[in-house]
Amino acid sequence: MSSRRQFIVLLGGAAAAWPLAARTQQVGKLPTIGFLGSGTRSATSEWTAAFVQRLRELGWIDGRNVAIEYRWGEGRAERFTEIAAELVRLNVDVILAGGTEPAVAAKHATSVIPIVFALAADPIGNGLVASLARPGDNVTGLSNMESDLAAKRLGLLREVLPGFHRLAVMVNGAYSGGATEMLEIDAAARTLGLEIVAFPIRRVEEIAPSFDALKGRAEALYVVGDPLANTHRLRIITFALAARLPTVHSQRQYVEAGGLMSYGANFPDLNRRAADYVDKILRGAKPADIPVEQPTKFDLVLNLITAQALGLEIPPTLLARADEVIE
């Protein structure tokens, strides 16, 4: 190779490598939080805002005394793995994982960088922590107790539909917390005398065919929340309304999109509290020494517009217990 060509090749390689090197150098100037979002920026904007606002209250301002490297997994497992590896390469100071699957991916990617999960359905069962009181290793955070609330959701649904017997359950077969929640749903269904019709999905392309297969087989739908379903909740709700299926969910965002009801931990509050974990770690605390905490705020949200569209009457006793009614 001529010296001129050799110089051009070397120059091209340096140009390709420069942005990452420059970025790494820039990131290194400030303590850096690697933000591994479970869905899209828009789908989880309320949770992100709660996290950032609490950071500001604790004295951490993005671009001034801390840097936040945002990445979005878009509900895809392979993206979580790619992003976790990228954040490790950037050598961030702490990783904020926006859910169970991102946290698992981050833990597989590093045993050194501290990891905080903002919400995880079963952190012990998923191998994230050794115990809630003594997490061990480099991971800690907040549990959202998703599976423990399944019986409560079915009880609330029965109050609106006292005579229903067939319940469809949409669950992402690739979501680790889904199997645990299905066990809870099955147990609660047996107590209530419900027949379960399971519809597993793994990709967004499987949502529409699932509803086609569901026709005439169920009277209500329970959607197990996970990054995939959260990201495509409007699509799911649109199909459910077209099929005239009342729905129950774990998160209020589904009800805002037209779902009938939700009951679960307040996710913005959990993300807000996750900022306290990140603050402690940036100030020198070890994740192994910070216990995993449980939710302290739970919300029951009802959508009266959807109820009316489906010809359903919400009992006054249920309305009185709701934290929020959309009308």
Which domains does the chain show, CATH number per domain?
3-145+267-296 (3.40.50.2300), 147-265+299-326 (3.40.50.2300)
166, 158 contact by CB (below 8 A): no
143, 123 contact by CB (below 8 A): yes
CA angle 127, 132, 138 (to 5 degrees): 60
pLDDT of residue 10: 38
Residue 85 vs residues 34, 73, 109, 201, 270: alpha-carbon distances, Å = 11, 12, 6, 26, 25
Local structure of residue 62 (DSSP, 8 states): B
Residue 116 bridge partners (DSSP): 96, 140
Which residues fall within 8 angstroms of residue 64, CB to CB, at 6 or more apart?
A: none
271, 53 contact by CB (below 8 A): no
pLDDT of residue 147: 62
Of the candidates 153, 221, 144, the one whose C-alpha atom is nearest the C-alpha of residue 184 is: 153
Number of H helices, E strands in the chain: 13, 12
39, 73 contact by CB (below 8 A): yes
Helix (H, G, I), strand (E, B) or coil at 295: coil
- Rounded CA-CA distance 133/293 in Å is 8
Residue 52 vs residues 94, 134, 275: alpha-carbon distances, Å = 15, 27, 7
Sheet harboring 195-201: ordered strands across? Answer: 195-201, 166-172, 220-223, 247-249, 261-265, 298-303, 324-326
Mean pLDDT in consecutive groups of 10 residues from the start of the chain, 327 residues: 39 35 49 94 90 98 96 90 97 95 95 96 89 94 82 96 95 83 93 93 92 92 92 95 96 95 95 98 96 94 98 96 96
Local structure of residue 194 (DSSP, 8 states): P
Local structure of residue 323 (DSSP, 8 states): S
Backbone angles phi, psi at 291, to 5 degrees: -60, 150
Of the candidates 44, 146, 27, 30, the one whose C-alpha atom is nearest the C-alpha of residue 90 is: 27
Q: Residue 255 CA to chain centroid, in angstroms?
A: 16
